[in-house]
């Protein structure tokens, strides 16, 4: 990483968590938070949307809206920047080992800072649950935040068992919804936590991504979990997935982005440099968003209903652009 790139990353990481509330902020305010000038912060924000060195969709989404006069900016879908850092037991152990090795190479004046970091790690590990039923979901939080308390409440609901009321926002929703659930279990998959629960409003088992749960309250109502219910049955090829009717989405990615996709999905490239991946499909809207973020470099092969839906969405976008141009 060049010095200029490192400084840009530092500015963005300083500004985004403070401005990721979904509200509009003036560009001058963003510049003050990032501790730079107006033109520099605009270049930084535009660099987030261009992604010249990564195919679209490979990096987790971050939505940056800049008005036409470049006076206001709104950052959305960035709650992951506001979460405290969550680490597994293995990652904590690796950090402890790395700090111990680093300490042998540093001067005595630098060792005090390293020792404080090692002490924080030791305290984090000491707080980890040791009972066997939690062994698969052990993790530690290295910062203050509400998510840890949410996890404790949900675990208590699972153990009793008790229903819970959650405030939850899906990836595509503008506003959160309050839902009553019967929590069955927690799963860690691909770096994220998921809650498997029966949703009363749908009368069906649903998957809730834990970092999208904004509020949790334990209720007095109890429930009976279905027997037997295997939490592992909702994991398919390393993904957490649940649908009442299982269907597959097949997407072909062009050689332009295929290398990244093949690495992420752990599949082999085709002879022409492209790659075809099959995903479990539960939500057509998810499929449309997934394919469109790659533009012309992704093609839906099946099912035909999703292929048609993508075409219809593209026609709608073109028609909307044409109306805006003539207005």
CA–CA distance, 178 with 7 (Å, rounded to integer): 41
Here the tokens at position 314 are: 């593209």
- Tell me the pLDDT tens digit for each residue of 74-128: 776 666 666 666 666 777 788 888 888 888 888 888 888 889 888 888 887 777 6
Q: Per this entry, what is the length of the chain?
A: 327
- Tell me the pLDDT tens digit for each residue of 249-282: 899 999 988 988 888 778 899 999 999 998 877 6
Judge whether 140 and 87 are in contact, CB under 8 Å.
yes
pLDDT of 163 reads: 95
Closest to 186 measured CA to CA, from 202, 164, 171, 203:
164
Judge whether 165 and 183 are in contact, CB under 8 Å.
no
In the chain, where the domains are located = 3-81, 86-137, 161-240, 247-316
Here the tokens at position 151 are: 């996890």
Closest to 44 measured CA to CA, from 2, 6, 81, 17:
6
- Tell me the pLDDT tens digit for each residue of 287-327: 888 888 888 899 999 999 999 999 998 888 877 766 655 55
Closest to 153 measured CA to CA, from 196, 215, 199:
215
User: For the domain with range 3-81, which CATH number is right: 3.40.50.10490, 3.30.70.20, 3.30.70.1050, 1.10.10.10?
Assistant: 1.10.10.10
Query: If DSSP codes are grouped into helix, strand and coil, which group holds residue 252?
Result: strand
Lowest mean pLDDT among 207-211, 234-238, 264-268, 319-323: 234-238
CA–CA distance, 286 with 143 (Å, rounded to integer): 32
**Residue that the structure tokens 């939690």 belong to:** 134
CA–CA distance, 196 with 202 (Å, rounded to integer): 14
Q: Class of 161-240 per CATH? A: mainly beta
**Residue that the structure tokens 């533009």 belong to:** 295
Flag whether pLDDT at 189 surpasses 70: no
- Do 3-81 and 161-240 show the same overall fold? no
Residue predicted with more confidence, 208 or 165 = 165
pLDDT of 216 reads: 94
């Amino acid at each position: 990483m060049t010095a200029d790139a490192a400084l840009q990353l530092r500015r963005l990481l300083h500004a985004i968590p403070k401005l990721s509330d979904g509200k509009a902020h003036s560009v001058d305010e963003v510049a003050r938070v990032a501790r730079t000038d107006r033109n520099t912060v605009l270049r930084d924000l535009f660099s987030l949307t261009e992604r010249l060195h990564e195919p679209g969709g490979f990096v987790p989404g971050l939505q940056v809206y800049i008005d036409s006069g470049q006076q206001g900016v709104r950052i959305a879908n960035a709650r992951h920047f506001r979460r405290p850092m969550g680490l597994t037991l293995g990652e904590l152990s690796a950090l402890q080992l790395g700090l111990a090795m680093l300490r042998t190479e540093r001067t005595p004046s630098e060792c005090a800072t390293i020792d404080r970091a090692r002490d924080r790690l030791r305290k984090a590990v000491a707080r980890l649950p040791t009972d066997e039923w939690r062994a698969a979901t052990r993790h530690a939080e290295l910062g203050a935040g509400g998510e840890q308390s949410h996890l404790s409440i949900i675990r208590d609901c699972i153990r009793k068992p008790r229903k819970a009321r959650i405030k939850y926002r899906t990836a595509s929703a503008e506003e959160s919804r309050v839902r009553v659930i019967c929590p069955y279990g927690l799963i860690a998959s691909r770096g994220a936590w998921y809650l498997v629960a029966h949703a009363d409003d749908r009368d069906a088992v649903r998957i809730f991504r834990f970092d999208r749960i904004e509020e949790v309250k334990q209720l007095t109502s109890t429930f009976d979990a279905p027997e037997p219910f295997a939490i592992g049955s909702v994991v398919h090829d390393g993904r957490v997935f649940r649908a009442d009717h299982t269907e597959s989405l097949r997407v072909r990615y062009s050689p332009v982005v295929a290398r990244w996709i093949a690495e992420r999905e752990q599949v082999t490239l085709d002879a022409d440099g492209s790659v075809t991946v099959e995903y479990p499909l539960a939500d057509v809207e998810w499929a449309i968003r997934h394919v469109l973020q790659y533009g012309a470099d992704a093609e839906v092969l099946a099912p035909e209903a999703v292929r048609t839906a993508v075409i219809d969405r593209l026609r709608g976008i073109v028609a909307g652009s044409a109306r805006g141009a003539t207005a």
